[in-house]
Structure 1
């Protein structure tokens, strides 16, 4: 310990968690935001009076408090600032209508889209119903994985009617300034309202590990949570896009700003 009075003292999970909390809040070297913490073995070897079980429980406690995040196969880290996902501002025409990305509204260092996939698929039944597409008819799928600081933070799959995408940049991996909504607007179908449904849940194995050649979020298997967001974009009364998003709940903060009267 870096406090001489603690030498020779055996720690409980509570007292060791308090010491780690103090270091994080004081930004002691090695405990700054984003810093990787020692392993359990290193804590036992280098911290006076700390057993493996004590260190493990202390880390679990600080993780539950939101001070620490664990990345499967990588270790535990002091939590960096969460990504604020601010709605409805991020979806405003003032954003995409001026050639800006939705993600750029969220933070100065926004997540970047990687592993972009575009192609025709038969959508899930509830997506087809929302889009007004007959059962079995194909729609355009746009899949993205979002990364921030080399960490996967979001998986997103958007579905759009092919009659609105054929021959447009929506069918390209790079949809151009303002993204998909700007391209829809050029056809007279710019979104005029949105509905988002949000739940929190445990991640599926595919979301953790990936599947069919896609990378997953790399979350820890026990205790990890995701936000599942289903967004419906409407141009007037017509649903023009359904987007299914899975966000690492340890990486995001959902912020909603709206008037008292609507």
Structure 2
């Protein structure tokens, strides 16, 4: 494997231990260092990166803090099992049958995990500008916010902020501080606004203070930020959701069929 040259290092202003952790992290997430396998020894890493023992240990500590590897000083460091989860956004758009739980919960349980949704806040707010534009709100307009966290195996997986037009949400359970049985796709259909089309805009961002705390992030790693707009009949926007996940623990899988 090629190690970056000194000239390349001059363009990368991260400390050496951060650069080492970045290379190893990429190999873990790509599967070159598979779950259950050992990382190269400290001696091998020192030689590969031309680094001191202390620098290599600082790099390994970053990966331990991120829960990507486990091990102790003087012992082999091992890649943790099943750390990166694949999330399929399209699954959350499907309606649940009457009496069934929200589809996301059911899918998480099928993978042998315990999953739950915690409702944090329900309030009328002035949304961020990109959300307001997606909902076609007038300047200074407000929307119904439902803010919640999705947790898998007692680990926060996602911070979710869903916004709805007040004309749609007022007087419905969307404005109540309680869980919606079957999820919002089912409820929107029952209210006469069946989801017909969804558009996702995904980007990598530096987490805000609120996101860092809610997701219990270990450092300065980016988050996956998704802005989803759900349209009903006549291209009416009925829901805009901002979803934030830890970038080093989750990937998004989309499937497309050529036309």
Q: For this structure pair, what is the TM-score category when the shorter chain's length is used for normalisation?
A: 0.5 to 0.7
Pick aligned residue for 2:201 from 197, 201, 206: 197
Unaligned stretches of 5+ in structure 2? 1-19, 25-32, 40-51, 71-77
The residue that corresponds to 2:151 in the other structure is: 147
How many residues align structurally? 207
The residue that corresponds to 1:162 in the other structure is: 166
The residue that corresponds to 1:232 in the other structure is: 229
The residue that corresponds to 1:38 in the other structure is: none
Contact 2:165/2:239 (<8 A) preserved = yes
Please state how far the C-alpha of 1:253 moved relative to its aligned partner: 2.2
In 2, the alpha carbon distance for the partners of 1:96 and 1:83 equals 26
Relative distance call for 1:234 and 1:185 in structure 2 (3 A) is same
Deviations 1:162-216 (A, max 9, x none): 111122111223343222222211121011110001111222233213xxxxxx2
Contact 1:118/1:142 (<8 A) preserved = yes
- TM-score of the two chains, using structure 1 as the length reference: 0.66
The residue that corresponds to 1:101 in the other structure is: 102
1:24 aligns with 2:36: yes
Please state how far the C-alpha of 1:51 moved relative to its aligned partner: 4.4
Secondary structure of the 1:84 match is strand
The residue that corresponds to 2:88 in the other structure is: 86
The residue that corresponds to 1:68 in the other structure is: 69
Q: Which runs of 4+ in 1 moved over 6 A?
A: 61-64
The residue that corresponds to 1:253 in the other structure is: 251
Please state how far the C-alpha of 1:79 moved relative to its aligned partner: 5.0
Deviations 1:232-251 (A, max 9, x none): 00002100011011111222
Contact 1:83/1:252 (<8 A) preserved = yes
Unaligned stretches of 5+ in structure 1? 1-12, 32-49, 70-75, 210-215
For the aligned residues, what is the CA RMSD? Answer: 3.4
Relative distance call for 1:103 and 1:82 in structure 2 (3 A) is farther
Pick aligned residue for 1:54 from 37, 53, 56: 56
Secondary structure of the 1:24 match is coil
Please state how far the C-alpha of 1:86 moved relative to its aligned partner: 1.2
The residue that corresponds to 1:188 in the other structure is: 192
Contact 2:86/2:251 (<8 A) preserved = yes
In 1, the alpha carbon distance for the partners of 2:135 and 2:97 equals 22
- TM-score of the two chains, using structure 2 as the length reference: 0.67
Relative distance call for 1:248 and 1:97 in structure 2 (3 A) is farther
